[in-house]
Amino acid sequence: MFKCAIDGGAASGKSSTARHVARRLGFGYIDTGSMFRAVTLQVLRQQVDPKDKDKVMRIAQATRLFYPSMDRVALNGEDVTEAIRTPLVTRHTSSVASNPGVREVLARLQRQMANDTKQQFFKAEGYKRGFHFMPGVVMDGRDIGTVILPDADLKVFMVADAWVRAERRYKEHPQGSVQEIYEALLERDKADTQREIAPLTKAPDAIQLDTSRMQFEDQVKTIEDLIIERI
């Protein structure tokens, strides 16, 4: 099975690009950021201090994630697709993601998902449940090419000017101001880059893609072509 790892900073367009590439190629798609966000949501709901390493790790162990489709995520049976994207959850996720116990739990799940060649489709038309055998998988995050899938067939490291990323994010979710989004994403990148465990960094064999001046369609096409060249 073909494995494509896409890493990059906050709001670098990884997830939307990865999802489109996966759709076009009939690949599976795994958004690892959603896993750290879901654990963070649970931590906040249970009013646990995100810095309390043991309690946070236990929450990660008890978190059951389910992906009913490429763009929805369910946490312990509840659809939390929107709930994990609030500014509050976003702000606390880097702290939860620096917890080695949480990373261990989620890394196991991520590798298991990347190696699962079949994707289940529930409520497939006319059937109660169906399987689709996948020729490959696209996984995005911060440490996919370096830690989770060091043997990936293609590694892409996405970068873009921070102000451009803030403007794109504001267009998608017009909350607060571009300046506020800009500051929050720089802060998140700093925390993700400087943490001790699995920091955000380009794998030596990753291809760097600067999307500052690229249209979305071109980003998708570039990665799609890189995969097709290697299949």
Q: Which residues in this chain contact ligand C5P in the complex, by CB under 6 A?
A: 10, 32-33, 36-37, 93-94, 97, 141-143, 188, 192
Residue placing its CB nearer to ligand C5P in the complex, 127 or 193:
193
Q: How far is the CB of 192 from ligand C5P (least distance, A)?
A: 5
Q: Measured from the CB of residue 14, what is the shortest distance to ligand C5P in angstroms?
A: 7
Give the residue with the Cβ less far from ligand C5P, 33 or 50: 33
User: 152 in helix, strand or coil?
Assistant: coil
Least Å from the CB of residue 130 to ligand C5P: 29
Q: Smallest gap, in angstroms, from Cβ of residue 37 to ligand C5P? A: 6
Nearer to ligand C5P, 127 or 216 (CB): 216
CA angle at residue 65 from 60 to 71, to 5 degrees?
130
Query: Smallest distance, Å, CB 23 to ligand C5P?
Result: 18
Q: Which is nearer to ligand C5P, 139 or 227 (CB)?
A: 139
CB count, 10 Å around CB of 131?
A: 12
- Beta partners for residue 74, in sequence order: 66, 79
Structure tokens at 126: 């006319």
41 versus 97: smaller Cβ distance to ligand C5P: 97
CA nearest to 10, candidates 165, 131, 143, 150: 165
Instruction: Evaluate whether 226 touches 18 at the Cβ level (below 8 Å).
Output: no
Closer to ligand C5P by Cβ: residue 73 or 214: 73
CA nearest 20: which of 192, 218, 168, 208?
218
Query: Does the CA dihedral 186-189-191-193 come out positive or negative?
Result: negative
What residue spans of the chain are helical by DSSP H?
A: 14-25, 32-45, 53-62, 87-97, 100-114, 162-172, 178-194, 216-230
- Residue 176 CB, shortest distance to ligand C5P, in Å, is 16
